[in-house]
Amino acid sequence: MDLEFKFEIHKDSMGDNIRFYGNIDSHSEQPFEELSRKITGKRVVMDFSNTLRINSMGIAILLRSIKHIKSEKKSEIAIIGENKTNAMLFKITGVYTLTSQHAQF
Amino acid sequence: MSIRTFRYGDRGTVISVSGTVPRVDARCWTREWNVSSSMDKEVIIGQLQNLFDGKDVNHDFLGQRAELIVDEMLENALYSAPRDTEGKPLFIKGCVRELLADEKITLRCAFDGKQLLLEISDSWGNLAPETVELFLSLNDNDTDPESDRAGRGLFILWKFLDYFYVNINPGVDTTMGGVLSLFPVIVEKGE
């Protein structure tokens, strides 16, 4: 699987569905800024099914992006598809406190 | 949070968060990498990944956690440890860099079939025990997650590793490590 980070946005009547691919780390900053600009839906689903590793820099970028989308776009954000390790990571770093629903482990 | 700090003269300072020395069977599989460049990170992680991938769900989960821990350890050694005389970082996170002439980073791992010991040493010795305590306590509150909170990498190591320890020999070297279990107690470590 390709380690390089990228994302896809699929828009439907329910909102914006974002699918993340690869690692989320210090190299993901610019794509996440682009992502924030592209969000228009009031309901945003972030799908981590194809995400590999997320390190502490990746968590910082993700938290910044989630906060920006919530405050600037007034969107609700849900997280799906995260693996067991990333679920632990989201829980201990507070990512889940900013999202409206998430998978339990 | 329970942190025990032991200072013993010029042999440095050991910070033991769990208060217990890691035990891994002496007959286990071991491996050591001497890092020469930031480009080595993905190579090392790839080699570690090959050890665990595809065996079963428990090994896959161990491999995932090991990748994260090694990522954080190497990022810390490559970008946080090197500081100038005023304490400012010498390198920007994520930049491609070669190790300096007198710089050394060594990553060690040992696996006995149930427990994976991971340990990294850098030749800086710039971390202070007070900084470790501050970083862990700063991040131990997930109700108001600041995006750019300092010390998150160290906090992740502490939360994921059993028997987390840091050994600081000021101005000489820093060693940190701990153990990942094949069968972790998720209720304790993940909450």
Question: In percent, how much of chain B has pLDDT > 90?
Answer: 52
List the domains of chain A with CATH numbers: 6-98 (3.30.750.24)
SS (H, E, C) chain A: CCCCCEEEEEEECCEEEEEEEEEECHHHHHHHHHHHHHCCCCEEEEEEEEEEEECHHHHHHHHHHHHHHHHHCCCEEEEECCCHHHHHHHHHHCHHHHCCECCCC
pLDDT reported for residue B186: 62
Distance CA A65, CA A71 (A): 10
Count of A–B CB contacts within 8 Å?
Answer: 81
Residue B142's pLDDT band (cuts 50, 70, 90)? low
pLDDT at B170 > cutoff 50: yes
Type of residue numbered B4: R
Residues of B in contact with A97 (CB under 8 A): 142-145
pLDDT reported for residue A104: 42
Give the ipTM of the model, two decimals please.
0.90
* Higher-confidence position of B81 and B163: B81
Q: Is B181 on the interface with A (CB under 8 A)?
A: no
Q: Is B2 on the interface with A (CB under 8 A)?
A: no
Reported pTM: 0.89
The two three-digit tokens of residue B81, written as one number: 């440890």
Are residues B145 and A57, on separate chains, in Cβ contact within 8 Å? no
Distances in whole angstroms, Cα of residue A51 to Cα of each of A22, B150, B154: 5, 24, 22
pLDDT tens figures, B49-60:
888 888 899 999
**Number of structural domains in chain B:** 1
pLDDT at A103 > cutoff 60: no
Are residues A93 and B152, on separate chains, in Cβ contact within 8 Å? yes
Are residues B189 and A88, on separate chains, in Cβ contact within 8 Å? yes
Q: Identify the residue among B75, B76, B156 best suited for mutation to test binding to A, counting A beta carbons within 10 A and taking the highest.
A: B156
Average of per-residue pLDDT across B153-182: 92
Are residues A60 and B160, on separate chains, in Cβ contact within 8 Å? no
pLDDT tens figures, A33-80:
999 899 988 899 999 999 999 999 999 999 999 999 999 888 999 999
Q: What is the domain extent for residue B125?
A: 4-189
Please name which of A90, A59, A62, A94 lies closest in space to residue B142, comparing C-alpha atoms: A94
